[in-house]
């Protein structure tokens, strides 16, 4: 069973925390069935945008439309059946095994009483299979490597059977091999089922390599958005991050690569007299 | 093919998982039996047997049926209620060290009992009825204050809840000190005994007061087990999974306060059971899933309080120590040890 392709858009959206508006007049249309990456400097509102689009923060102005419906009209539970989100900092209780975590993804579908249905079990098994965790299903989360653990969280989100998957910095705390492992998994999932993925990424090069669409945020507004391979220019990096950079094609993949540099300091400051 | 994978690894986990349940389930009858036999008047198993068939002396029958049995049942019910109250509070605050006593409910109920003893002398003739009523009212009033104080922007804030609880506890304790210093000595001793958590004088009447409440509240709490599992992933993730987090926190606070107030109104200010029972259940179950943990917590609570009470009654030198103090004396060093171990990670 494949997930239906989901449409999500916002018009003149403003949002943030009570007494503090972070996002201003933000209109966007997420390309359905593709991977979008949110990029921007610290405090530019990437996480806030992700949480607001997922219905986790109240909308202060404008509207968000999911498959033709205003999300503020949907119950938390209905929303969780259409959109899954993995926040940056989730805690996993001590002793929870992979399968137990993934089964929590069935929460929005379950009745108050009774065990997991055969259908639930089938979905859980498929999520474990898609993330390559079948052999580790009974393993304690604490015993997994960072990459495996992130895969387990992704499996939980898949068990929600949603058309949209949001991830807030899915690669933080991971070493480079595990970062690529997770991003490649997301790419595979997107290609296999057409699930729309939106993620906040810090690494510009990974964002370009693993997404179809880039949304660059600056001070709570969209600075620019467009196809990943075309959007990344020295001007964009300068405007969004305030950093000078050159963009070169990757020698192997041909994907644009950003090489930021700091202008050479005028003089080396503060070295002591002599080297004794 | 997928079932093979799950079938191989499950048995080991499940046997550990059950240890949390079967240990207290096995110890509970033993504790209740020794609770019936041990005390100021020692009773032999044969005498107990005779009692069951109605052939024992009237004095022995009276001790067994009207004094010891209701007291043990009250202890077990209160232990279970306080344990579950603690478990709910810990899930709500994401803090494994939270205890109903921390919310100021004990202190509020204690203050109310003090007011009753000082100013409502006309009601003292029917103290069996009125004292729990006043304790309950005091507990609920401090819960109401907590409700007003622990909200930020219309939502219940777990951190604020703990701080407000500590503040309330200090406030009511100060009021009790002020009142206590101007109180008649015998009344003050009554309050002191009550605060220490005392099951002395528990009767079938108290059993009847307790069980309907527990029959109502315990299933309501057990029904929250799945939501509690989701909440344990953090508020944001829980909301993303479709849990109405604020409503769930309010439910858990209500259930925790109601369970604690009802139990405290009968058994006095017993603390630590709400901390110790969930903690032991947590250590002895392989899974953090509340569907397994809550029943274990309930059983440990139902075991610990009668055991503490029996221990307090069976000391030599004709010394009787209130159950609440026995629990504190045994549990406090254990928790200090745990805290130190946790810090040394």
- The answer to whether residue B5 sits within a structural domain is no
pLDDT at A191: 95
Question: Distance of alpha carbon B189 from its chain centroid, rounded?
Answer: 23
Q: Identify the closest residue of chain B to A17 by CA–CA distance.
A: B153
Contacts of A99 (CB under 8 A, 6+ apart): A124, A128, A137, A138, B6
Does the pLDDT at position A49 exceed 70?
yes
Q: Identify the closest residue of chain A to B9 by CA–CA distance.
A: A138
pLDDT tens, B315-324?
A: 776 677 888 8
Tokens 């898609």 -> residue: A130
**Structural domain count, chain B:** 1
Q: State mean pLDDT over B189-208.
A: 82
- The answer to whether residue A237 sits within a structural domain is no
Q: How many residue pairs bridge chain A and chain B with CB atoms within 8 Å of each other?
A: 89
State the pLDDT confidence band at A198, using cuts at 50, 70 and 90: very high
Does the pLDDT at position B12 exceed 70?
no
Q: Identify the closest residue of chain A to B286 by CA–CA distance.
A: A95
- The answer to whether residue B96 sits within a structural domain is yes
Q: State mean pLDDT over B283-297.
A: 87
Q: Cα separations (Å) of B286 from A94, A95, A249, B282?
A: 9, 6, 51, 8
Is the distance from CB of A148 to CB of A133 less than 8 angstroms? yes
Output the six-digit token pair for A208.
Answer: 């370009």
Interface residues from chain B to A (CB-CB < 8 Å): 2, 5-6, 9-10, 13, 94, 153, 223, 226, 229-230, 232-234, 236-237, 239-244, 282, 285-289
* CATH number, domain containing residue B77: 1.10.3470.10
Share of chain A above pLDDT 70, in %: 94
- The answer to whether residue A260 sits within a structural domain is no
- The answer to whether residue A57 sits within a structural domain is yes
d(CA B331, CA B106): 18
> Which chain A residues have a beta carbon less than 8 Å from that of B9?
137-138
Q: How far is A215 from chain B (nearest CA, A)?
A: 22
Contact criterion met (CB < 8 Å) for A97 and B13: yes
State the pLDDT confidence band at A246, using cuts at 50, 70 and 90: very high
pLDDT tens, A121-167?
A: 999 999 999 999 999 999 999 999 999 999 999 999 999 999 999 99
Output the six-digit token pair for A271.
Answer: 């070295």
pLDDT at B1: 37
Question: Which residues sit opposite A16 in a β-bridge?
Answer: A21
Provide the ipTM.
0.90
State the pLDDT confidence band at B5, using cuts at 50, 70 and 90: very low
pLDDT at B176: 86
pLDDT at B9: 41
d(CA A152, CA A271): 50
**Structural domain count, chain A:** 1
Output the six-digit token pair for A40.
Answer: 């921007």
Contact criterion met (CB < 8 Å) for A81 and B242: yes
- The answer to whether residue B178 sits within a structural domain is yes
Which segment of A29-38, B6-15, B266-275 scores lowest on mean pLDDT? B6-15
Residue B295: which domain range? 18-343
pLDDT tens, A53-103?
A: 999 999 999 999 999 899 989 999 999 999 999 998 878 888 899 999 999
Is the distance from CB of A53 to CB of A8 less than 8 angstroms? yes
Contact criterion met (CB < 8 Å) for A125 and B2: yes
Tokens 């003149």 -> residue: A12
pLDDT at A269: 53
Evaluated on CA atoms B98, B239, A159, A215, the torsion sign reads negative
Tell which of B233, B234, B285 to mutate to test the A interface (max A CBs under 10 Å). B233
> Which chain A residues have a beta carbon less than 8 Å from that of B288?
93-96
State the pLDDT confidence band at A178, using cuts at 50, 70 and 90: very high
Taking each helix axis from N to C end, the angle separating B105-119 and B127-149, rounded to the nearest 10 degrees, works out to 140
Does the pLDDT at position B2 exceed 60?
no
> Which chain B residues have a beta carbon less than 8 Å from that of A160?
241
- The answer to whether residue A165 sits within a structural domain is yes
Output the six-digit token pair for B75.
Answer: 């202890």
Q: How far is B4 from chain A (nearest CA, A)?
A: 10
Is the distance from CB of A125 to CB of A156 less than 8 angstroms? no
- The answer to whether residue A238 sits within a structural domain is no
pLDDT tens, B303-314?
A: 999 999 998 888
Does the pLDDT at position B124 exceed 80?
no
Q: How far is B337 from chain A (nearest CA, A)?
A: 19
State the pLDDT confidence band at A272, using cuts at 50, 70 and 90: very low
Is the distance from CB of A162 to CB of A174 less than 8 angstroms? no
- The answer to whether residue B4 sits within a structural domain is no
Tokens 């259940």 -> residue: B281
Q: Cα separations (Å) of B112 from B103, B125, B137, B164, B235?
A: 15, 17, 7, 19, 35
Tokens 């207290």 -> residue: B24
- The answer to whether residue B1 sits within a structural domain is no
**Better-scored residue on pLDDT, B120 or A188:** A188
- The answer to whether residue B3 sits within a structural domain is no
Per DSSP, A2 falls in state P
- The answer to whether residue A92 sits within a structural domain is yes
- The answer to whether residue A176 sits within a structural domain is yes
Residue A128: which domain range? 8-232
d(CA A130, CA A82): 19
Cα–Cα–Cα angle for B197, B199, B205, nearest 5°? 125
- The answer to whether residue B197 sits within a structural domain is yes
- The answer to whether residue B261 sits within a structural domain is yes
Output the six-digit token pair for A75.
Answer: 């119950």
- The answer to whether residue A272 sits within a structural domain is no
Is the distance from CB of A91 to CB of B233 less than 8 angstroms? yes
pLDDT at A276: 41
pLDDT tens, B210-226?
A: 898 899 999 999 999 99
**Better-scored residue on pLDDT, B17 or B205:** B205
Cα–Cα–Cα angle for B331, B335, B337, nearest 5°? 120
Residue A77 contacts B, CB cutoff 8 Å: yes
* CATH number, domain containing residue A54: 3.40.50.300
State the pLDDT confidence band at B14, using cuts at 50, 70 and 90: low
Q: How far is B95 from chain A (nearest CA, A)?
A: 12
Q: CA neighbours within 13 Å on the CB side: how many for B210?
A: 26
Rg of chain B taking only CA atoms, in angstroms: 21
């Amino acid at each position: 069973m494949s997930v239906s392709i989901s449409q999500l858009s916002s018009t003149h959206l403003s949002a943030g925390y009570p007494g503090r508006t972070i996002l201003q007049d933000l209109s966007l249309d997420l390309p359905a069935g593709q991977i979008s990456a949110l990029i921007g400097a610290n405090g530019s509102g990437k996480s806030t945008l992700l949480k607001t689009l997922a219905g986790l923060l109240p909308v202060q102005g404008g509207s968000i439309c999911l498959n033709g419906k205003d999300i503020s009209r949907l119950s938390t539970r209905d929303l969780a059946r259409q959109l899954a989100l993995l926040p940056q900092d989730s805690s996993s209780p001590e002793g929870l095994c992979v399968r137990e975590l993934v089964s929590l993804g069935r929460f929005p579908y379950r009745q108050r009483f009774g065990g997991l249905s055969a259908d639930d079990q089938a979905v859980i098994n498929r999520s474990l299979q898609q993330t390559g965790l079948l052999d580790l299903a009974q393993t304690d989360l604490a015993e997994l490597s960072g990459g495996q653990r992130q895969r387990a969280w992704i499996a939980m989100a898949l068990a929600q059977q949603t058309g949209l998957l949001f991830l807030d910095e899915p690669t933080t705390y991971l070493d480079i091999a595990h970062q690529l492992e997770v991003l490649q998994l997301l790419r595979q999932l997107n290609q296999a089922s057409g699930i729309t993925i939106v993620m906040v990424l810090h690494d510009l090069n990974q964002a370009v390599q693993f997404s179809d669409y880039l949304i660059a945020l600056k001070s709570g507004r969209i600075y620019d958005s467009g196809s990943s391979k075309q959007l990344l220019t020295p001007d964009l990096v300068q405007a969004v991050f305030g950093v000078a950079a050159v963009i070169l094609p990757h020698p192997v993949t041909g994907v644009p690569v950003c090489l930021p540099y700091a202008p050479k300091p005028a003089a080396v400051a503060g070295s002591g007299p002599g080297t004794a | 093919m997928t079932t093979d994978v799950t079938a191989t690894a499950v048995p080991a986990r499940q046997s550990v998982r059950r240890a949390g349940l079967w240990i207290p389930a096995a110890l509970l009858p033993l504790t209740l039996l020794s609770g019936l036999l041990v005390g100021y008047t020692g009773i032999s198993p044969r005498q107990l047997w005779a009692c069951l068939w109605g052939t024992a002396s009237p004095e022995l029958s009276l001790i067994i049926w009207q004094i010891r049995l209701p007291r043990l049942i009250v202890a077990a019910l209160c232990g279970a209620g306080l344990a579950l109250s603690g478990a709910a509070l810990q899930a709500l605050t994401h803090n494994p060290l939270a205890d109903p006593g921390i919310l100021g409910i004990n202190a509020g109920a204690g203050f109310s009992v003090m007011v009753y003893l000082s100013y409502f002398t006309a009601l003292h003739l029917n103290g069996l009825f009125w004292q729990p009523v006043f304790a309950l009212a005091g507990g609920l009033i401090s819960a109401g204050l907590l409700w007003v104080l622990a909200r930020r922007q219309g939502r219940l804030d777990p951190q604020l809840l703990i701080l407000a609880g500590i503040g309330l506890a200090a406030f009511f304790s100060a009021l009790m000190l002020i009142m206590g210093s101007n109180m008649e000595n015998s009344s003050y001793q009554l309050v002191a005994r009550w605060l220490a958590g005392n099951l002395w004088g528990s009767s079938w009447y108290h059993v009847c007061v307790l069980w309907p409440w527990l029959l109502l509240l315990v299933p309501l709490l057990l029904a929250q087990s799945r939501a509690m599992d989701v909440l344990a992933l953090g508020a944001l993730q829980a909301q993303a999974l479709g849990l109405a987090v604020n409503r769930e926190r309010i439910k858990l606070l209500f259930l925790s306060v109601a369970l604690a107030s009802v139990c405290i109104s009968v058994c006095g200010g017993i603390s630590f059971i709400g901390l110790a029972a969930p903690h032991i259940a947590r250590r002895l179950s392989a899974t953090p899933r509340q569907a397994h943990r809550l029943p274990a917590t309930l059983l440990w609570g139902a075991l610990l309080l009668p055991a503490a009470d029996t221990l307090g009654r069976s000391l030599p030198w004709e010394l009787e120590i209130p159950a609440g103090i026995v629990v504190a004396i045994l549990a406090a060093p254990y928790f200090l040890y745990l805290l130190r171990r946790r810090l040394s990670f």
